[in-house]
């Protein structure tokens, strides 16, 4: 066992604080990873504050993990000590159901094993995430980070990157398509970069007028402020595809009206409270409303290789672990350009 420094939420109302966990020596098919960077996803906040219900405490969040292989199990042939690797939102699944066989492990019939706030298959022990200095993971759930992507800027690809890449691919977004990205946070800015790399024309729909210049600098062709109600008239029936990455409560119907005939809107954000969808908003132009959950291991590797090929990485603000509670408050206000990433070296020092 390896005593490992971490940061944890002990309950839904207390700020995160230093905590100690144990990581096991890798089994035959596992690798032990020294964590270098961990991205801060809004899902960390939702879960640490129990906004979705059912959170288990103490909780060590973090599922945008990048580090280097420190030790290998006897059967591990595809990684070597020192390799740059990543771990995303899940660390195991049943491996036998149709979705697992199809490489869509996140939709496992028996439920994926979350990187944190979950329980290990077999032992039932709680899983702890990347706000920690090490993690032991089965080799089949470990990603290879291409050399050309700086490791700190790669971390957010493990959730924000794959969560936006997967629906763009699944719905066949192609060069020339009109795509809108709603919400310019961690997921939103990756959606812009990846859709632009796929050749789409991207419009950012944001509550923050102050993000206009930055949105265009990311490669978006246009920006529209959603606090201005005229936007919903001007852009009516403009888009083939809308990615909704909004973390807070908002009216889906207003955005559905921006889809063209046969257009699709995909929900990625998971606000605390359910909202109402008017049938007419879908029926009138044969529109579709879908959802999408991260992406499978094979597709995550494909996304990482796509990002390397197209020079795509996350725009980040690197923080020390001691700034994590402040970072949560800033994210809730939409004050992030565009992903906080924890420098895990600061956790080693803090412990």
- Can you give the three-state secondary structure of 207-251, one letter per residue? CCHHHHHHHHHCCCCEEEECCCCHHHHHCCCCEEEEEECCCCCCC
Q: Give the tokens for residue 72.
A: 């290998």
Place of tokens 């994926």: 112
Site string for ligand NAP, 154-173 (x = CB under 6 A): -----xx--x----------
| CB of 292 vs Zn ion, minimal distance in Å | 13
Q: Count CA within 13 A, CB hemisphere, residue 80.
A: 1
Among positions 43-72, residues that touch ligand NAP (CB under 6 A) are 43, 46
Which CB, 144 or 250, lies closer to ligand NAP? 250
217 closest CA partner among 204, 227, 206:
204
Chosen residue from 70, 293, 345, 351 binding ligand NAP by CB under 6 A: 293
The pairing of beta strand 288-291 with beta strand 259-267: parallel
Which CB, 97 or 289, lies closer to Zn ion? 97
Which CB, 247 or 300, lies closer to ligand NAP? 247
Chosen residue from 207, 221, 285, 325 binding ligand NAP by CB under 6 A: 207
Among positions 43-102, residues that touch Zn ion (CB under 5 A) are 43, 93-94, 97, 100
Q: Contact 243/177 with Cβ under 8 angstroms? A: no
The pairing of beta strand 239-244 with beta strand 259-267: parallel
**Does 269 contact ligand NAP by CB under 6 A?**
yes
Q: Give the tokens for residue 214.
A: 């930055």
Out of ligand NAP, Zn ion, none, what residue 93 binds, judged by CB under 5 to 8 A for its kind, is Zn ion
Distances (CA, A) of 181 to 70, 125, 189, 346: 39, 38, 8, 34
Which CB, 45 or 281, lies closer to ligand NAP? 45
Which CB, 134 or 189, lies closer to ligand NAP? 189
Determine if the peptide bond prior to 170 is cis (ω within 30°): no
**Does 185 contact ligand NAP by CB under 6 A?**
yes
Out of Zn ion, ligand NAP, none, what residue 94 binds, judged by CB under 5 to 8 A for its kind, is Zn ion
| CB of 243 vs ligand NAP, minimal distance in Å | 10
Q: Give the tokens for residue 57.
A: 């405490």
Query: Radius of gyration of the chain from Cα atoms?
Result: 20
Chosen residue from 15, 172, 199, 248 binding ligand NAP by CB under 6 A: 248
Task: Break the chain down into helix, strand, coil percent, rounded to 5.
Answer: 30, 25, 45
Q: Contact 106/92 with Cβ under 8 angstroms? A: no
| CB of 159 vs Zn ion, minimal distance in Å | 3
Q: Which stretch binds ligand NAP (CB under 6 A): 6-14, 97-105, 201-209, 304-312?
A: 201-209
- Residues 125, 65, 338, CA angle at the centre, nearest 5°? 130
| CB of 257 vs Zn ion, minimal distance in Å | 29
DSSP 155: G
Out of ligand NAP, Zn ion, none, what residue 108 binds, judged by CB under 5 to 8 A for its kind, is Zn ion
Out of Zn ion, ligand NAP, none, what residue 97 binds, judged by CB under 5 to 8 A for its kind, is Zn ion
The pairing of beta strand 30-39 with beta strand 134-138: antiparallel
Q: Contact 270/294 with Cβ under 8 angstroms? A: no
Which parts of this chain interact with ligand NAP (CB under 6 A)? 41-43, 46, 159-160, 163, 183-188, 206-208, 211, 245-250, 268-270, 292-294, 331, 334, 336
Which parts of this chain interact with Zn ion (CB under 5 A)? 41, 43, 93-94, 97, 100, 108, 159
């Amino acid at each position: 066992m390896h005593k490992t420094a971490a940061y944890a939420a002990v309950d839904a109302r207390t700020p995160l604080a230093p905590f100690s966990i144990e990581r096991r020596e890798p089994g035959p098919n596992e690798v032990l990873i020294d964590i270098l960077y961990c991205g801060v996803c809004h899902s960390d906040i939702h879960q640490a504050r129990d906004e979705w219900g059912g959170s288990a405490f103490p909780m060590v969040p973090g599922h945008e993990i990048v580090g280097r292989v420190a030790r290998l199990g006897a059967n591990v042939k595809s990684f070597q000590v020192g390799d740059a690797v990543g771990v995303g939102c899940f660390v195991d699944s049943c491996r036998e159901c149709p979705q697992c066989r199809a490489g869509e492990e996140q939709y496992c019939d028996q439920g994926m094993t979350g990187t944190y706030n979950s329980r290990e298959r077999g032992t039932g022990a709680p899983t702890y995430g990347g706000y920690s200095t090490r993690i032991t993971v089965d080799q089949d759930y470990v990603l290879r980070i291409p050399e050309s992507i700086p490791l700190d800027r790669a971390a957010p690809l493990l959730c924000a990157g794959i969560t936006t890449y997967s629906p763009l691919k699944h719905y066949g977004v192609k060069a020339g398509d009109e795509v809108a990205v709603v919400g310019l946070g961690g997921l939103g800015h990756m959606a812009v970069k990846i859709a632009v790399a796929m050749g789409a024309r991207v419009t950012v729909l944001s509550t923050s007028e102050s993000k206009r210049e930055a949105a265009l600098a990311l490669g978006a062709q246009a920006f529209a402020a959603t606090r201005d109600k005229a936007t919903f008239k001007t852009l009516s029936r403009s888009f083939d595809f809308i990615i909704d990455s909004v973390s807070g409560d908002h009216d889906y119907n207003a955005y559905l009206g921006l889809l063209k005939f046969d257009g699709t809107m995909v929900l990625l954000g998971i606000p605390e409270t359910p909202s109402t969808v008017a049938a007419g908003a879908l029926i009138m132009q044969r529109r579709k409303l879908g959802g999408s959950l991260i992406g499978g291991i094979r597709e995550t590797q494909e996304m990482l290789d796509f990002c390397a090929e197209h020079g795509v990485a996350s725009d980040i603000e690197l923080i020390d672990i001691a700034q994590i509670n402040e970072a949560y408050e800033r994210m809730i206000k939409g004050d992030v350009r565009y992903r906080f990433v924890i420098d895990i070296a600061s956790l080693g020092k803090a412990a």
